Amino acid sequence: MIETLLNLTVSGILIGGLYALAALGLTIVLGVMRVINVSHGAFYTLGAYFTFLFSVMLGMNYIAAFILSALIVFAVGVVYERAIIKPIRKEELNVLILTFAAAFVIEEIVKFTFGPRYRNIPPYLSGTVTFFGGSVDVQRVFSFVIAIAIVALLILALRFTKVGKAMRMVAEDEEVAGILGINVDRIQMVSFGFGAMLAAAAAALLSPIYLLYPAMGWDPLLKAFAIVIFGGMGSITGTVLTGIIFGVAEVLTGYYISPTWKTVVPFILLILIISIKPTGLFGEEE
Amino acid sequence: MGKPTGQASLTEEVERDGRMLGLGRLGKLGTTSRKFAVVVFLLLATIIPFIAPSVYLLHVLILAHIFVIYAASWDILTGYTGQLNLGHAMFFGLSAYVVAITNTMLKTPLFLSVLMGITSALVLSLTVGLPCLRLRGPYLAITTFSFSWVLFLLASSAMIWLSGGEEGVRGVKTFVIGSIPNYYLSLILMIISVYILYRIASSETGLILKAIKEDEDAAMACGIDTTRYKLLAFVLSGTFAGIAGAFYAQYMRIVTVDVVALELSASAIAFSLVGGIGTIIGPAMGAYILTILFEGFAWLADYRVFIYNLIIVSFVLFLPGGLMSLRDLLKRKEEVEKVKEEVGRT
């Protein structure tokens, strides 16, 4: 009984770490640019399909494919920001509508290029490890460890590197950052690229676990929205913790209630938090 | 001469915007040319079954009428009031499903099913609206988006025993049989719905909704209970989308998971942007044009989602006011030229 619970919690944490990574890009773009990027899920899809292209279709090593696709999606994000976001960044309504539509455009392009059918990437590592009497795929542990390493690197980079400090300054106050000599425009471009790259990284780590299909991005996107609001908009700690909480909640619901209902769990939590404390768990009161 | 600021100028601006869109005098349809266009449209719409009695054409037009109501209902909330709804399909879809499920499984009379469908859309609009209307920022967009996604998840997997998933719910009864009766029914329903929405939008209520869109704080400072008006817009929007969904269910006689898909929500935005958001008539026009174009040319169907969304992207970037704003743009250009001339003279 207790063992099952512990075992389920472990698998929940493992998947939750990846949710956190997927949501983190959204948090960074939201914090630095004050933009809700509905195309975030499309970058996730792109990341997965680029990993598929390099590792399965071109037969490259999975790690190389992972890094390559993250870099490409970073570039896509930068171009996207220049072409679409920058002209209308201040118009909140239009940004939301535009990024929503652009996500469909990207999804359709993926569909035209790779076809509508399901694809899969074989696991990079096979075998299982045992936790509290239950077994967990090594691939999941590997993906989780990499995800957490990326999150840790990101937090360190935000704290200690020049670009990271500039990003935090722009998030704090755009105008003052500009006065202090930070190139706000360029920092925002880079942040958007990073946001896209984090989505792609999460996708590359999840794609040996889940199937690929052109509309795969909506589920992580909506989950990421729920995570970002639940954790408090713009809070990195909130995002990471909520990601893990959501992962555990989902796995437990899937086991104790019904596997088909677990996909609905994040949204029940979202509606709860909006009704009770809309600023989220770690959000600042306005 | 700088741009005047402050409270007075906001009201002026709202009024000027209203005038430009032909809403200056309450309840009037606007200029004579617009009246003429409406009369010509109504005449054409009435005689079309006689001059072109093609079943397929009528089917396309019936769908267009349904989507006109659907687009106009999106516009009253998002175009007029500025409250972004990214999941408008949920009202349409819930109503359609309720009609289909009650009618086929519980065997309730169609009339009652339709009433239940529309009521369910109304209740859903209250459920979604109440928790987030007091909040600013992107909450509403994310909440509406999430609600419609949940509905999609339920219909496509968790509650497939009820919704039938891709197979759908089949065998819904219909009010009238044949394309010509259905055509006229849909035409009348569309005219009434658009007329009601247009009248509300042209009334003082519409002006208040526009004021909320322009500057909610200023509207509040004028003593307007903005939450109440936003909720009103929400309920109107949900109910009319529900009407469209209910009609769709009894006309198509089958309801599949497409009616709650994200693509349908995106369609509402595409229709409205093509016509011009915040004008009611614009989105109605957009729905007509796009539906006839895409249902009329079957080979376009595969590219529909792609083109609809490409249209949204291009219109937001290059013509955010839609086709309705073209005339104003030209007028403004003339004005600018005039001012330039005057400045040149002095």
Compute the half-sphere exposure of residue B172: CA atoms within 13 Å on the CB side of its CA: 30
Nearest CA in chain A to B307: A105
Model pTM? 0.88
Residue B5 predicted with pLDDT over 60:
no
Report residue A258's pLDDT band, with 50, 70 and 90 as the boundaries: confident
Which pLDDT score, from 0 to 100, does residue B96 have? Answer: 96
Q: In order of start, what are the domains of chain B with their CATH numbers?
A: 7-345 (1.10.3470)
- Determine the 3-state secondary structure of B255 from DSSP: strand
> Which chain B residues contact residue A271 at CB under 8 A?
131, 143, 146
Interface touch B139/A104, C-beta < 8 Å: no
Q: Which residues of A touch B313 (CB under 8 A)?
A: 84, 98, 101-102, 105
Scanning chain B, the segments in alpha helix (DSSP H) are: 7-20, 32-51, 55-74, 89-105, 110-132, 139-153, 160-163, 179-202, 204-214, 216-221, 226-252, 262-275, 281-296, 304-318, 325-345
Contacts of A279 in chain B (CB under 8 A): none
B338 pLDDT tier (thresholds 50, 70, 90): confident
Q: What is the ipTM of this complex?
A: 0.90
Residue type, B304: R
Higher pLDDT, residue A258 or A204: A204
Q: What confidence score (pLDDT) does residue A264 get?
A: 87
To the nearest whole Å, the CA of B262 is away from the closest chain A CA by: 9
* Closest in A97, A263, A271 to B131, CB measured: A271
The mean pLDDT of A171-193, rounded to a whole number, is 91
B146 and A84: CB-CB below 8 Å?
no
Residues of A in contact with B309 (CB under 8 A): 101-102, 104-105, 108
pLDDT averaged over every residue in chain A: 90
A96 vs B contacts (CB less than 8 Å): 84, 86, 138, 141
pLDDT at residue A267 in the model = 87
The answer to whether residue B140 scores a pLDDT higher than 90 is no
Q: Return the pLDDT at A285.
A: 53
How far off is chain A from B312, nearest CA to CA, in Å? 6
Mean pLDDT of A250-261: 88
Of chain B, the end-to-end C-alpha distance in Å amounts to 15
- List A119's β-bridge partners, or say none: A212
B169-170 and B254-255 beta bridge pairing: antiparallel
- Smallest Cβ distance to B138: which of A36, A258, A264? A36
3-state SS, one letter per residue, for chain A:
CHHHHHHHHHHHHHHHHHHHHHHHHHHHHHHHHCCCCCCHHHHHHHHHHHHHHHHHHCCCCHHHHHHHHHHHHHHHHHHHHHHHHHHHCCCHHHHHHHHHHHHHHHHHHHHHHHCCCCECCCCCCCCEEEECCEEEEHHHHHHHHHHHHHHHHHHHHHHHCHHHHHHHHHHHCHHHHHHCCCCHHHHHHHHHHHHHHHHHHHHHHHCCCCCECCCCCHHHHHHHHHHHHHHCCCCHHHHHHHHHHHHHHHHHHHHHCCHHHHHHHHHHHHHHHHHHCCCCCCCCCC
pLDDT beyond 90 at B129: no
A-chain residues near B82 (CB < 8 A): 93
- The residue of A40, A86, A104 whose CB has the most chain B CBs within 10 angstroms, and thus the best one to mutate to test that interface, is A104
Confirm if B263 and B305 have CB atoms less than 8 A apart: yes
Distance from CA of A271 to the nearest CA of B (A): 8
β-sheet bridge partners, residue A60? none
Which tops the pLDDT comparison, A53 or A137? A53
Q: What is the pLDDT of residue A161?
A: 92
Question: Which residues in chain B have their CB less than 8 angstroms from residue A92's CB?
Answer: 137-138
Q: Residue B8: its pLDDT value, please?
A: 47
Per the CB < 8 Å rule, is B86 touching A84? no
Tell me the nearest-neighbour CA distance from A9 into chain B, angstroms.
23
Cα separation, A229 vs A70, whole angstroms? 25
If you average pLDDT over every residue of chain B, what do you get? Answer: 86
Annotated domain spans of chain A: 2-215
Between B342 and A53, where is the model more confident? A53
- Annotate A6-38 with b (16+ C-beta within 10 A) or e (fewer): ebbbbbbbbbbbbbbbbbbbbbbbbbbbbbbbb
CB contact under 8 A, A101 and B305: no
A108 contacts B142? CB cut-off 8 A = no
Q: Smallest Cβ distance to B313: which of A105, A260, A271? A: A105
Rounded percentage of chain A residues whose pLDDT exceeds 70: 98
Name the residue with tokens 């001469």: B1
Higher pLDDT pick, B132 / B196: B196
What confidence score (pLDDT) does residue B17 get? 54
Nearest CA in chain A to B152: A264
Mean pLDDT (whole number) for B229-237: 93
Lowest mean pLDDT across A11-25, B10-24, B218-232, B285-299: B10-24
Arithmetic mean of pLDDT, B68-79: 95
Averaged pLDDT for residues B244-265: 94
How many residues are given for chain A? 286
What pLDDT is stored for residue B165 in this prediction?
80
| Partner-chain residue, chosen from B135, B138, B146, that has the shortest CB–CB distance to A226 | B146
Where do the H-state alpha helices sit in B26-133? 32-51, 55-74, 89-105, 110-132
Q: Strand pairing partners for A137? A: A128
Contact pairs from chain A to chain B, CB under 8 Å: 104
Contact A88, A101 (CB under 8 A): no
Collapsing DSSP to helix, strand or coil, B170 comes out as strand
- The whole-angstrom separation of Cα B279 and Cα B199 is 11
Query: Which residues of chain B have a CB within 8 Å of the CB of A275?
Result: 131
Phi-psi sector, B169: left (phi>0), alpha (psi -120 to 50), beta: beta
Measured between beta carbons, which residues in chain B are less than 8 angstroms from residue A269? none
B316/A101 touch (CB, cutoff 8 Å), yes or no: yes
Please tell me which of A26-35, A38-47, B31-40, B330-339 the model is most confident about, judged by mean pLDDT: A38-47
Choose among A98, A102, A222: nearest Cβ to B146: A222
Task: Compute the half-sphere exposure of residue B249: CA atoms within 13 Å on the CB side of its CA.
Answer: 38
Q: Which of B297, B78, B151 is nearest to A100 (CA)?
A: B78
pLDDT of residue B7: 45
pLDDT tens-place string over residues A207-245: 988 899 999 999 999 999 999 988 888 788 889 999 999
Q: Residue B311 carries which side chain, given as an amino acid letter?
A: I
**What Rg, from alpha-carbon coordinates, does chain B have?**
21
pLDDT computed for residue B14 by the predictor: 53
Query: Residues of chain A whose C-beta is under 8 A from some C-beta in B?
Result: 36, 38, 84, 87-88, 92-94, 96-98, 100-102, 104-105, 107-109, 112, 218, 222, 225-226, 229, 258, 260-261, 263-264, 267, 270-271, 274-275, 278
Mean pLDDT within B211-240: 91
Cα–Cα distance between B126 and B94 in angstroms, integer?
14
**Residue of A93, A108, A267 lying closest to B82 (CB–CB):** A93
Contact (CB, 8 A) for A260 and B158: yes
Q: How confident is the model at residue B31 (pLDDT cuts 50, 70, 90)?
A: low
Q: How confident is the model at residue B312 (pLDDT cuts 50, 70, 90)?
A: very high
Nearest to A16 by CA among A182, A262, A193: A262
* Nearest residue to A35 (alpha-carbon basis) of B273, B216, B137: B137
Residues in B closer than 8 angstroms to A84, CB to CB, are 313, 317
Q: Locate tokens 């994040």: which residue? A: A266
Gap from A103 CA to chain B (nearest CA, Å): 9
Contacts of A167 (CB under 8 A, 6+ apart): A28, A32, A158, A187, A190, A191
Contact B172, B114 (CB under 8 A): no
Angle formed by the axes of helices B179-202 and B226-252, nearest 10°: 170
Cβ atoms within 10 Å, residue B11:
16
- Determine the distance from the C-alpha atom of residue A235 to the mean position of all C-alpha atoms in its chain, rounded to a whole number: 14
